[in-house]
Chain A
């Protein structure tokens, strides 16, 4: 399993302290989403995010990440404004989306973080598969998962009509990690 080896190498290459924590570096990283509108894919991205990932005994032990939904960007300013409003992210009342892991499992060449995703004050169990690899001398975390926007009240009222706005949202993320 060369990728698993790589993961171990990445972590082993770092000094073997008990708990090595890294911060998520938003520069050069990305968190994007995709869902269907009127039957077509629609994409956007969030620009402000961060968090930390800790490694213990050469394994990822803990992940705590967040993003600010107010940093959402699509191709149209009026859609960005609508996404920040009450019916979608309600950024005035809920400025942060957060994920905190409870356990991290290694599965073949991937890892799986199980934890709690908190969006608009709604906390749901979530599973986030991810990979760790080295890129340009830095560890890089990346992955993708899907969620049901209706579980978190993203798009309430008329927007809960999933024929025009799909329920399933795919999230893609990647970011470099910097040693703290």
Chain B
């Protein structure tokens, strides 16, 4: 039985597809960004950063769509066994996640614009610049982009750690809600 929409016990497959697609793209994006940022000015750097920029805008668009879907679909509740502070921490982490998933690509877009390196989205169309070329602004947005990405990467680590804790140590339903297949329940 496959649910498109979220139920009270589990995320629907649309919310799950958004989650796993964004997760996959964000991991690829972190890898490409880290790799390319450490290359000297070269054709490889130009090529990888060009893919990085297109991918970043794709993630931004997906996250906005995902937020829209989430607004129409209440996420399933957390198990009653979780202490109050943990529920609060989970809520805060997820809000910060969405915020960073929007701000980090946005800062990258600002950086590309200020650096005069406009984006042509996967060679399909020209993406407008957010600001005009400016050397000081480029430095500022670069630092902002790196800072936000570092924060996002830390949050990914926290999120994965917490999910594994729920799945392996607490053995509750929290991680199962986001899995497209349902492992045998211990409840």
A-side residues, CB < 8 A to B, are: 37-44, 74-79, 81-82, 158-159, 161, 164-165
Contacts and interface: CB of A to CB of B under 8 A. Distances in A.
Q: Give the contact-size bracket for chain B.
A: 10 to 19
A79 B40 CA distance: 10
A74 B116 contact: yes
Given A38-B117, A75-B134, A76-B138, 15 more contacts: A37-B46, A39-B123, A39-B126, A40-B118, A40-B120, A41-B118, A44-B116, A75-B114, A75-B115, A78-B41, A81-B41, A164-B43, A164-B46, A164-B47, A165-B46
Interface of B: 41-43, 46-47, 50, 114-120, 123, 126, 133-135, 138
Given A75-B133, A75-B134, A40 B43 contact: no
A39 B46 CA distance: 11
Nearest to A38: B50
28 contacts: A37-B117, A38-B46, A38-B50, A38-B120, A39-B123, A40-B117, A40-B118, A40-B119, A41-B118, A42-B116, A42-B118, A44-B116, A75-B114, A75-B115, A75-B116, A75-B117, A75-B134, A76-B115, A76-B135, A76-B138, A77-B135, A81-B41, A82-B41, A158-B43, A159-B43, A164-B43, A164-B50, A165-B46
